[in-house]
């Protein structure tokens, strides 16, 4: 079996190398049949990678410990779902997953677009193949998942905190996102290399980019939720390099999704868009590198491994080659139109882009600072939480406000008078909200208060947009208000899906502001029967229990919870002691208030043999809005992603109406 896996990967390497060399030659010399054969090789490489993936999967499911990878990441006692998740639990497996998704996406994106964008596709294929060659080389020569050994009686097991349903979805979603960003990159490169710099590469990749971006966003939120309920330190994001690794490409992709609209509507920002795509893809590679190389001190640091230099080399090569290609095409990328006024929708989108990029680069700077300072000053300096928090406020709050302004301001040139009319109500609502909150005592945190005020502004603009659109559709003859509402969204999915995503971002901002700026904490060492207070909650430590679970001993302290005079029942917090893995993990107790979105979060930090427990308790207002935001974000993404034949036909018609050759 391992031989089959190794052979399949070798075939993948051969096929992608062929697709790279033959594809590039065919594109350069205009050989159609050879180009076709390179495309087929790319599709075939997906099949051979899938075979390798099936071999690994079956080895995991059979507990075949003669595979070193299986022995290292699983054990006999590990429940089946987690045995499957061990596929991406270790380095070799996750690289194989990368390759599998990459070849799959490549095959699909090329096949779907080869009819109407043939002259582009011939150049897209070798770009995909180059990335696939790199990853298949890694799994063949550097980090093979098919290394064998004399089978030990049992495997080493899986780190307890990863034995969690979130870990079934969080890593694959991030990979879908990282790899998905390869698609716009390959098409942008294809467009640049072929010199066909019309809008087709944007049309062909819009959904792929959206999908990758949505997967990255949802994947990160799942990771945060996992950290919140499972890791149990009371937070959900720690600005850890590995967390930032996923945030940076997401920010770059967000910037791209916005600026691309300016190119579609006004033909501007072409160079900028290409650069953003390159940045997003490079950051996705860099993210994989950070996660997988262990060069930075991270709480995650899964591995300290040999793939680091290879990755760094490939990233450098990608950036260098892409920039050379862009530079050579600069004359073709000049825009026919230019920015007319600093107060216009174009300008608002540009500010949004600058802020997103500034935030992204500030985070990047923080991530690489320890390495840079080590190289320059001989001393590694780590930038802490306050650094990131500062920039999140400095760039994030204006972004929040812009989210309300951008979609409503006029194209080209907006007059100040029209602005006053458009934003009269949002401004009044925002100021009233701010004043009300100040009166209720929210002044304890200025950034928090500002975030709430801006959020009120944005929500008002979104509600007004939906109301205005629905009224217009009703006037156009929709039978019911509900019908008007749904047809409004159905007829312009991008726009209204986008508003839904904006609403999600506002919910997220409110949740973050509430839980980080207005939270409270208390800690105490309690003997059974004693109680502690936090806010208007009273907690009484009632009892301590111990029982044997499937693969861990579970110790739980039971607390009675009261708020004011209301009895809210009991809450359990404790620890699990995992036998095989010889580790202990915190199992926190969380009580969510469905109505206010507030969490009572209890950690049993230290359990003494005599039954005394040291508790650490948080009250986090509005924190549940963050998870709600995740659902709304998903809804908005699905609305924008939903197949829309009418729109696709219109775009294709427009692209070919400009007099572009559909075939070569």
Q: Which of 80, 153, 331, 334 binds another protein (CB under 8 A)?
A: 334
Q: Does 4 bind another protein (CB under 8 A)?
A: no
Residue 662 sits in the site that holds another protein (CB under 8 A): no
How near is the Cβ of 293 to another protein at its closest, in Å? 9
Contacts of 4 (CB under 8 A, 6+ apart): 51, 52, 55
User: How near is the Cβ of 196 to another protein at its closest, in Å?
Assistant: 20
Question: Is residue 586 involved in binding another protein (CB under 8 A)?
Answer: yes
| Of the residues 12, 74, 91, 288, which one makes contact with another protein according to CB under 8 A | 91
Q: Which of 76, 141, 382, 472 binds another protein (CB under 8 A)?
A: 382
Comparison of 278 and 501: residue with beta carbon closer to another protein: 278
Query: Contact with another protein (CB under 8 A): which of 279, 616, 632, 637?
Result: 616
Total residues at the site for another protein (CB under 8 A)?
A: 76
Q: Residues 456, 436: contact at Cβ < 8 Å?
A: no
Among 81, 195, 342, 661, binds another protein (CB under 8 A): 342
| Residues 212-241: x where in contact with another protein by CB under 8 A, - otherwise, as a string | -------------------xxx--------
Q: Is 28 in the site for another protein (CB under 8 A)?
A: no
Of 22, 350, 626, 641, the residue at the interface with another protein (CB under 8 A) is: 350
Query: Cβ closer to another protein: 207 or 616?
Result: 616
Q: How far is the CB of 241 from another protein (least distance, A)?
A: 12
Torsion (CA) 501, 505, 507, 511 in degrees, nearest 10:
150
Task: Pick the binder of another protein from 58, 149, 297, 415 (CB under 8 A).
Answer: 297
Residue of 614, 628, 647, 660 interacting with another protein (CB under 8 A): 614
Binding mask 141-160 for another protein (x = CB under 8 A): ---------------xxxxx
Closest CA to 600 of 510, 509, 515, 500: 515
Token reading at 642? 């939903």
Regarding 244 and contact with another protein (CB under 8 A), the answer is no
DSSP structure string for 163-216: -STHHHHHHHHHHHHHHHTHHHHHHHHHHHHHT--STHHHHHHHHHHHHHHHHH
Residue closer to another protein by CB (options 361, 544) is 361
Please identify, among the stretches 26-34, 367-375, 443-451, 506-514, the one whose residues bind another protein according to the rule CB under 8 A: 367-375
> Which residues have C-beta within 8 Å of that of residue 561, sequence separation ≥ 6?
537, 538, 539, 567, 568, 569, 570, 571, 591, 600
- CA-closest candidate to residue 366, choices 349, 347, 348, 385: 385
Read off the tokens for 629: 């935001």
> Burial code of 474-485, b = ≥16 C-beta within 10 A, e = fewer?
beeebeeeeebb
Q: What's the min distance (Å) between Cβ of 198 and another protein? A: 17
Between residue 547 and residue 576, which ones bind another protein under the rule CB under 8 A? 575
Q: Residue 415 interacts with another protein (CB under 8 A)?
A: no
Query: Which two three-digit tokens encode residue 625?
Result: 């809005």
Please, which of residues 162-201 interact with another protein by CB under 8 A? 162
Cα dihedral value 178, 211, 103, 159, nearest 10: 50
Nearest residue to 415 (alpha-carbon basis) of 342, 475, 355: 342
CB-nearer residue toward another protein: 3 or 523: 523
- Cα separation, 73 vs 62, in Å, equals 13
Interface with another protein includes 302 (CB under 8 A)?
Answer: yes
Cβ-Cβ contacts under 8 Å for 622 (sequence gap 6 or more): 510, 511, 513, 514, 515, 518, 596, 597, 598
Minimum separation from the CB atom of position 605 to another protein (A): 5
What distance in Å separates the CA atoms of residue 569 and residue 584, rounded to the nearest whole number?
27
By CB under 8 A, is residue 425 in contact with another protein? no
Task: Give the shortest CB-321-to-another protein separation in angstroms.
Answer: 23
In terms of Cα–Cα distance, which of 192, 20, 168, 26 is closest to 106?
A: 20
Name the residue nearer to another protein (CB basis): 390 or 481: 390
Q: Which one among 523, 536, 548, 611 touches another protein, defined by CB under 8 A?
A: 523
Of residues 21, 108, 197, 383, which one binds another protein by CB under 8 A?
A: 383
Query: Is 25 a binder of another protein (CB under 8 A)?
Result: no
Note whether 588 and 557 are within 8 A (CB): no
**Contact between 412 and another protein (CB under 8 A)?**
no
Diameter of the chain measured on Cα atoms: 83
532 binds another protein (CB under 8 A): no
Sheet containing 520-526: give its strands across: 520-526, 613-620, 599-607, 589-592
Q: Judge contact between 145 and 8, C-beta under 8 A.
A: no
- Check residue 411 for interaction with another protein (CB under 8 A): no
Identify the sign of the CA torsion 20, 120, 176, 260: positive
Between 556 and 575, name the residue whose CB sits nearer to another protein: 575
Residue showing tokens 């051979």:
48
**Contact stretch for another protein (CB under 8 A) within 121-129, 387-395, 478-486, 511-519:** 387-395
Within residues 58-77, the interface with another protein by CB under 8 A covers 72-73
Pair 251, 606: CB distance under 8 Å = no
Residue 312 near another protein by CB under 8 A: no
Shortest distance, CB of residue 467 to another protein, whole angstroms?
A: 32
369 binds another protein (CB under 8 A): yes
Which 260-289 residues touch another protein, going by CB under 8 A? Answer: 268-271
Rounded (10°) CA dihedral 457, 486, 421, 446: 0
Residue 387 makes contact with another protein by CB under 8 A: yes
Would you count residue 299 as binding another protein (CB under 8 A)?
Answer: yes
Nearest approach, Cβ of residue 437 and another protein (Å): 26
Q: Rounded to whole angstroms, how far apart are CA atoms 77 and 181?
A: 37
In terms of CB distance, is 162 or 221 closer to another protein?
A: 162
Distance separating alpha carbons of residues 637 and 109, to the nearest angstrom: 19
Q: Decide whether 388 or 423 has the Cβ nearer to another protein.
A: 388
Whichever of 30 and 523 has its CB closer to another protein, that residue is: 523
**How far is Cα 554 from Cα 579, in angstroms, rounded to an integer?**
11
341 contacts another protein (rule: CB under 8 A): yes
């Amino acid at each position: 079996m391992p031989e089959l896996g190794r052979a399949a990967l070798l075939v993948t390497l051969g096929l992608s190398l062929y697709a790279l060399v033959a594809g590039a030659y065919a594109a350069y010399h205009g050989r159609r049949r050879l180009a076709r054969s390179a495309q087929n090789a790319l599709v075939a490489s997906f099949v051979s990678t899938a075979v390798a993936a099936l071999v690994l999967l079956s080895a995991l499911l059979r507990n075949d410990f003669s595979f070193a990878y299986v022995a290292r990441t699983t054990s006999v006692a590990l429940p089946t779902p987690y045995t499957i998740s061990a596929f991406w639990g270790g380095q070799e497996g996750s690289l194989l997953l990368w390759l599998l998704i990459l070849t799959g996406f490549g095959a699909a994106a090329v096949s779907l677009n080869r009819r109407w964008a043939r002259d582009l596709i011939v150049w897209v294929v070798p770009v995909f193949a180059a990335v696939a060659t790199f990853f298949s080389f890694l799994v063949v020569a550097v980090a093979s998942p098919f290394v064998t050994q004399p089978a030990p009686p049992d495997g080493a097991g899986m780190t307890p905190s990863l034995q969690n349903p979130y870990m079934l979805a969080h890593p694959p979603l991030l990979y879908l996102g990282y790899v998905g960003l390869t698609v716009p990159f390959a098409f942008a490169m294809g467009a640049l290399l072929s010199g066909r710099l019309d809008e087709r590469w944007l049309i062909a990749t819009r959904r792929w980019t959206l999908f990758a971006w949505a997967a990255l966003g949802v994947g990160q939120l799942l990771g945060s939720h996992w950290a919140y309920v499972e890791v149990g330190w009371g937070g959900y994001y720690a600005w850890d390099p590995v967390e930032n690794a996923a945030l940076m490409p997401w920010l770059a992709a967000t910037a791209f999704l916005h600026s691309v609209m300016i190119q579609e509507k006004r033909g501007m920002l072409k160079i900028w868009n290409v650069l953003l795509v390159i940045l997003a893809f490079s950051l996705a590679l860099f993210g994989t590198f950070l996660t997988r190389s262990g060069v930075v001190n991270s709480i995650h640091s899964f591995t300290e491994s040999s793939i680091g230099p290879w990755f760094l080399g490939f990233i450098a090569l990608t950036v260098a080659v892409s920039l050379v290609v862009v530079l050579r095409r600069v004359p073709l990328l000049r825009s026919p139109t230019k920015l007319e006024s600093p107060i216009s929708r174009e300008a608002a989108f540009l500010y949004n882009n600058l802020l997103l990029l500034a935030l992204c680069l500030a985070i990047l700077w923080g991530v690489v600072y320890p390495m840079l300072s080590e190289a320059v000053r001989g001393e590694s300096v780590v930038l802490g939480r306050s650094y990131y928090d500062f920039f999140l406020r400095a760039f994030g709050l204006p972004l929040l406000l812009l989210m309300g302004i951008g979609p409503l301001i006029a194209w080209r040139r907006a007059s100040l008078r029209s602005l006053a009319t458009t934003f009269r109500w949002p401004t009044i609502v925002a100021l009233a909200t701010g004043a009300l909150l100040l009166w209720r005592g929210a002044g304890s945190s200025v950034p928090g208060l500002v975030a709430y005020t801006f959020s009120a502004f944005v929500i008002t603009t979104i509600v007004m947009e939906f109301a205005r659109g629905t009224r217009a559709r009703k006037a156009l003859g929709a039978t019911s208000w509900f019908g008007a509402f749904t047809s409004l969204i159905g007829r312009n999915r991008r726009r209204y899906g986008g508003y839904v995503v904006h609403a999600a971002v506002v919910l997220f901002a409110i949740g973050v502001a509430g839980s980080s700026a207005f939270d409270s904490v208390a800690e105490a060492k309690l003997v059974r029967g004693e109680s502690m207070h936090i806010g208007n909650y009273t907690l009484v430590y009632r009892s301590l229990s111990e029982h044997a679970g499937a693969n861990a001993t579970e110790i739980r302290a039971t607390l009675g919870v009261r708020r004011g005079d209301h009895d809210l029942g009991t809450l359990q917090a404790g620890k699990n002691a995992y036998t095989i893995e010889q580790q202990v993990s915190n199992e926190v107790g969380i009580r969510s208030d469905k109505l206010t979105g507030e969490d009572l979060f209890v950690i049993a930090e230290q359990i003494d043999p005599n039954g005394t427990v040291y508790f650490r308790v948080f009250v986090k207002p509005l924190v549940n809005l963050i998870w709600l935001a995740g659902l709304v974000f998903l809804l908005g993404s699905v609305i924008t992603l939903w197949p829309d034949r009418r729109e696709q036909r219109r775009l294709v018609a427009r692209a070919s109406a400009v007099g572009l050759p559909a075939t070569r």
